[in-house]
Chains A and B, each alone.
Chain A
Amino acid sequence: MPVHTFILNGKRVSVDVEDDVRLLWVLRDMLGVNGPKYGCGLGVCQACTSHINGKAFNPCSVPISLIRSSDRITTIEGLPATVGKELHPMQEAWLDVDVAQCGYCQPGQIMTAVALVEEAQAKGRKVSDADLEQMHNVCRCGTYPRIREAVRAGEAHMPRPKRRRKKKRRT
């Protein structure tokens, strides 16, 4: 059986598993990392959203064979360490606004939100209404308004990206 290795929440991990097993199952069933949730396995609900090299993605839709040894995978469990704090500012904002109800989708929502802000920052702008409108994550408890409020609050406290060339400004 092939051995796959990558960096998970700052630590190198290796797993023996068939090539086509999706990363979500490697994380949950083999590595016991349960923050990313199963909501559809179809890349639709986004409850499993995590980061690969800083970009939001759905581990349910990525065969392990596509993951490189140099890839840095961050799940909700590893998010605070990316800013060297107890909690990431987005998590703090989620608490302040009291976003969650059942909480099942919220790790995915937070990971999407962080990537959304970082993407906007990279373009030298703030998260727009249009960005929020496109968040695909399902929340069956219907916490959408509080999610929007928390993204804005979290954005205000997120570290600025280290100098990057500003590309064309778009609003």
Chain B
Amino acid sequence: MTDLEFRGDAATDPVAGDRISARESAGGITRRRMMGYLIAAPTLVAAARWAEPAEAAIPTIQASDAFDLSDLLNLAAAATANLVSVRVNSDGTASFDLHRAEVGQGITTATAMIIADEMDIPIDRVKITLADARPELLFNQLTGGSNSMHSIFTPVRAAAATARGQLMQAAAAELGASVSDLTARAGVISARDGRSATYGALAKKAAVTRSAVVTPQLKTRAALQLIGTDQRRIDGPAIVRGEKQFAMDLDVPDALPTMVCRAPTINGTALGIGNAADVKAMPGITDVAIIPHSTYVPGGVAVRGKTFGQCIDAIRALKVSWSAGTAPGKSDASVLADLRKAELPLTPALPGKTVEEVFTFHFRPGDPLETNCAIADVRSNSAEIWSCCKSPIHVQGLIATTILKMPLAKVKLHVTEGGGSFGRHLFADAAYEAAAISKVLRKPVRLMWHRTDNFRQGRVHPMATSRVRMTYLGNNVISHDQRHTSVATDFSHGFGDAITAVDAQLPLQNFVQFSTTIFTLTQNIPYDFGVVTQLLNEVYDIQTFNTSSVRNIYSPDVRTASELVIDRVAEQMGKDRLAFRREFAKDDRMRAVLDKLAQEGGWGRSLPAGVAQGVAVHHEYTGRAACLVELDTRPETVNRKIEKGYSGPRVTKVVYVVDVGLPINPLGLRAQMMGGVMDGIANALSYSLHLKDGYFLEGSWDDAHYTRQWNMPLELRVIVMPQTTNEPGGAGEFGVAATMAAVACAYRKATGTMPTEFPINHAAALDFEVSPNIPSIPQSPTDGLKKAGLKRPRRKRKATKKRTKTTTAKTRS
């Protein structure tokens, strides 16, 4: 503490409860205080952290605590190193290096809003960048569990408030006025006599030469003007101009395009290349090398060349011998049989009437639109990596210790913005692989996965079954048992640090320490149903299939199974499906979203035969949600022709009511629910992978049917409930589960048949031609002009200056 000077009585002066969060915890409400720091720097740098560590110890099964880093920091000599900080620049802007990944969920915008609001600065003067891997942040650099806003809201506010407070002090000195006579607005501090100073002008004067501790004065809720208002994305202008930079857009010298020829079956390893020299001699190709499959590196045969197109040609020309991989011969049917064998028994039945069903949920992709990609420049004693990582501390540690065998400090990991994630970037497969390739080739590489590889060798949502049995007696539901049996979900990223991640690789640790923990902490039945049990069992180890926490993890499947059985129970008890849910809802917040849904959704309106409504609710991320769906299953709709598209039953209307506690940016929140709704529709109706002979058959977006324009609801309303608590709950994944369940319930009602297999089109004959698995990727088409309606003769008539015969690989395709 020798470098710190205390100002005020930060250690004893509690900040008013309504200003600082009251957080929900297992033991009830805990109130904690923030401490502000002024950090010695050329211009003003203000930071903050929780005053007390959390009650929980590391690494406890209380995930919600472990995710929150501020809880785990201790007041060590290097206290200021662990902080997240706001920097005020001489041009009047404020900078913040965000310790979370932006992957489309809008946290850069929300963070800018929080800082702008607390500092009284226009939002366009807040500059948000993504922090490199910072091991000193321990658990606090994980983007997952829809937890970002929940965990950073108060610390960021406190840092911004500390900055504002110090700017006021500096202005008071500058203007010869007392702080109470000053007002701050839009980055300018004014005295009563009209004199003023800008934040830019004060940035240096407000800087300190000795770091100090202060008590941040956070604004009251009423004084916050931006929080709770619609704000457009701060990266919108860059996006629409095509200027937003993703990993593959970065200019890193000599990082040439690199791709990997992958095994025909899941996780096969390359044993030998029959024609390495020939392929290396192909146009543009600079390198060909085997990269063995390992726990972290997917691997295969890497090719590096002048363009990605030439890498594709080279991959298609390679002759490689492969091992069988980790799932040889496995198919949907064999995995289902293994899941059935592993199902845990139900509790002994209670007296009463029972309803019981078992459901199957097939593998589905976890793919964002940007494929796995990373740039790596590995030198003999240092390395620099660029990739979108949601657990960068863990990734940096692994690359240093396991892949490169270098001291941690020699590995720099830059977090790039991601073209979507949906859980995928919790794992940095591309970063590991790029590092491994660059190490072998001794050259910088720009590694990009092919789309087909992303589907076939990438991470997926695990296949699962879910058995639900409900018992009712008279007017009461007396039990709800659920046995969820799943292919193992890989949680080996731990909670984003090096320690718990290593544990997860130990035999059984993934299940004991993470799967069951996360299942228990995320799953609940939001109804008073008497004796409720929900248990998870898993099959296979985490190396068999490549899985990850795909958006909303277990909840979409678990909730769908439960809500379908609830519908049957409601009907057997002679109750309206929505009224039944309201009657048994556990709390007032849930009843409020259901009331709003009934009021705004047109529940119970008359619809033609084959069209029906479904309703479902969800409670997670400290929020409540309810979804109403109308689904059209009439033949003329189901069989409508879409060129190269899957039509099927059409969701015609969705009304989604969501209570997240404190909504920060309702415009962004509605966007997240919209995306979740599209995922829920896809999960229920059309989006899956077919496993056969040890590999997934789908290889493109026309094979795996994620929601497209022709599937989306013609009417979508997202209703954000007014603020109900002092803290923002999770948003990024919160739209999926209730939607999937409501679509399934609508399907049951519309068809009169209980759907027991999801998505509902999975069992039908394949509607696409399976692309070969050798070579591992298809060639790009050549008919782009024809499809655009341009007629071109096969040969160019003029134009090129020279017409030499080329030695390109035309004939191979």
* Chain B associates with chain A: yes
Assess A41 versus B312: contact at CB under 8 Å? Given A69-B798, A135-B709.
Answer: yes
* Cβ contact within 8 Å between A61 and B246: no
Could you tell me the distance between the alpha carbons of A136 and B306 in the complex, rounded to whole angstroms?
30
Q: Classify the interface of chain B: helix, strand, loop or mixed.
A: loop
Using Cβ atoms and an 8 Å threshold, which residues of chain A touch B808? 18-21
Q: Beyond A95-B236, A110-B240, is A143–B784 a contact (Cβ under 8 Å)?
A: no
Give chain B interface residues in 786-809, CB to chain A under 8 Å: 787-790, 792, 796-804, 806-809
Inter-chain contact A145/B787, CB cutoff 8 Å: no
**A8 at the binding interface (Cβ < 8 Å):** no
- Tell me whether A76 and B242 are in contact in the complex, defined as CB-CB below 8 angstroms, given that A4-B800, A140-B368 are known contacts: yes
Query: Once the chains bind, are A44 and B701 in contact (CB under 8 Å)?
Result: yes
Q: Mark A3-36, 1 if CB is under 8 A from B, else 0.
A: 1110000000000011111111110111010111
Residues from chain A with Cβ under 8 Å of B248 in the complex: 28, 34, 38
Expressed in whole angstroms, the Cα–Cα distance for A68 and B369 within the complex equals: 31
Q: Which residue of B lies closest to A101 (CB)?
A: B104
Contacts of B645 in A (CB 8 A): 136
The reply to whether A55 and B788 form a contact with Cβ atoms under 8 Å apart is yes
List residues of B (638-669) whose CB comes within 8 Å of A's CBs.
Answer: 642-645, 667-668
Q: Which of A88-147 contact B (CB under 8 A)?
A: 91, 94-95, 98, 100-107, 110, 132-147
Q: Is the CB of A39 within 8 A of B778?
A: no
B806 is contacted by which of A18, A133, A140 (Cβ under 8 Å)?
A: A18
| Total residues of chain B contacting the partner, CB 8 A | 96
B240 CB to closest chain A CB, in angstroms?
4
Decide if B451 touches A91 in the complex (CB within 8 Å).
no
**For the complex, is B782 an interface residue (Cβ under 8 Å from A)?**
yes
CB contacts (< 8 Å) of B106 on chain A: these are 101
A143 CA to B676 CA, complexed, in Å: 10
Which residues of B678-719 have CB atoms within 8 Å of chain A's CB atoms?
678-679, 700-702, 706-710, 712-713, 716
Stretch at the interface among B115-123, B140-148, B414-422: B414-422
Q: Please classify the interface of chain A as helix (H, G, I), strand (E, B), loop, or mixed, using the class held by over half of its residues.
A: loop
B316 → chain A, closest Cβ, in Å?
Answer: 12
Question: From residue 370 to 422 of chain B, which have CB atoms closer than 8 A to chain A?
Answer: 370-371, 417-422
Interface residues on A, range: 35 or more
> Inside 8 A of A140's CB, which chain B residues have their CB?
367-369, 420, 422, 706
In the assembly, what is the distance between CA of A56 and CA of B785, in Å?
A: 9
Digit string of A53-67 for contact with B (CB within 8 Å is 1, else 0)? 101111111110111
Q: Return the contact of A69 from the options B103, B238, B788, B799 (Cβ within 8 A).
A: B799
In the assembled complex, the CB of A103 is this many whole angstroms from the nearest CB of chain B, namely: 3
Known: A61-B782, A100-B233. A52 touches B788 (CB 8 A): yes
Task: Give the shortest distance, in Å, between B629 (CB) and chain A (any CB).
Answer: 15
Docked-complex contact B677 and A142, CB < 8 angstroms? yes
B239 on the interface (CB 8 Å rule)?
yes
B 505-529 binary contact with A (CB < 8 Å = 1; else 0): 0000000000000000000000000
Q: Counting CB contacts under 8 A, is B195 at the interface?
A: no
If A41-B312, A57-B790, A76-B241 touch, whether A141 touches B448 (CB-CB below 8 Å) is no
Any A CB within 8 A of the CB of B251? yes
> Do A34 and B242 form a contact, CB below 8 Å, given A140-B706, A141-B104?
yes
> In the complex, how many angstroms separate the beta carbon of A88 from the nearest chain B beta carbon?
9
Q: Is the CB of B709 within 8 A of A132?
A: yes
A80: nearest chain-B partner, CB-CB = B241
Q: Is B232 an interface residue (CB 8 A)?
A: yes
Q: Which residue of B lies closest to A96 (CB)?
A: B232
Could you say which residues of chain A place their CB within 8 Å of the CB of B308?
Answer: 25, 28-29, 38, 41
- CB-contact partner of A98 in B671, B778, B783, B790, under 8 A: B671
**Partner among B235, B675, B790, B806 whose Cβ is within 8 Å of the Cβ of A20:** B806
**B211 contacts the other chain (CB 8 A):** no
Any B CB within 8 A of the CB of A158: no
Chain A residues with Cβ below 8 Å from B238 are: 103
In this assembly, does B17 line the interface, its C-beta being within 8 Å of a C-beta of chain A? Answer: no
Residues A77 and B700 in contact, CB atoms below 8 Å apart: no
Contact (Cβ within 8 A) A102 B708: no
B284 CB–A CB distance under 8 Å: yes
Rounded to whole Å, the gap between the CB of B648 and the closest CB of chain A is 14
Question: What is the distance, in angstroms, from B691's C-beta to the closest C-beta of chain A?
Answer: 21
> What residues on B are CB-neighbors of A69 within 8 Å?
798-800
Q: Judge whether B796 and A68 touch: CB under 8 Å.
A: yes
Q: Are B419 and A133 in contact (CB under 8 A)?
A: no
Instruction: Say whether A144 contacts B712, CB under 8 Å.
Output: yes
Give Cα A56 to B787, complex, Å.
9
The answer on a CB contact under 8 Å between B233 and A57 is no
Q: Is B329 an interface residue (CB 8 A)?
A: no
Residue ranges of B at the interface with A (Cβ–Cβ < 8 Å):
103-106, 232-233, 235-246, 248-249, 251, 257, 283-284, 306-310, 312-313, 367-371, 417-422, 448, 450-451, 642-645, 667-668, 671-672, 674-679, 700-702, 706-710, 712-713, 716, 778, 780-785, 787-790, 792, 796-804, 806-810
5 cross-chain pairs, A with B, having the tightest CB-CB distances, nearest first: A35-B242, A102-B104, A142-B678, A104-B419, A61-B784
Instruction: Please name 27 pairs of A and B residues whose Cβ atoms are closer than 8 Å in the assembled complex, sorted by A.
Output: A2-B804, A20-B808, A20-B810, A21-B284, A21-B310, A25-B307, A29-B257, A37-B419, A40-B700, A42-B780, A44-B644, A55-B790, A57-B790, A58-B784, A63-B782, A66-B796, A91-B241, A95-B237, A98-B668, A102-B420, A103-B104, A107-B242, A132-B709, A136-B708, A136-B709, A138-B701, A143-B671
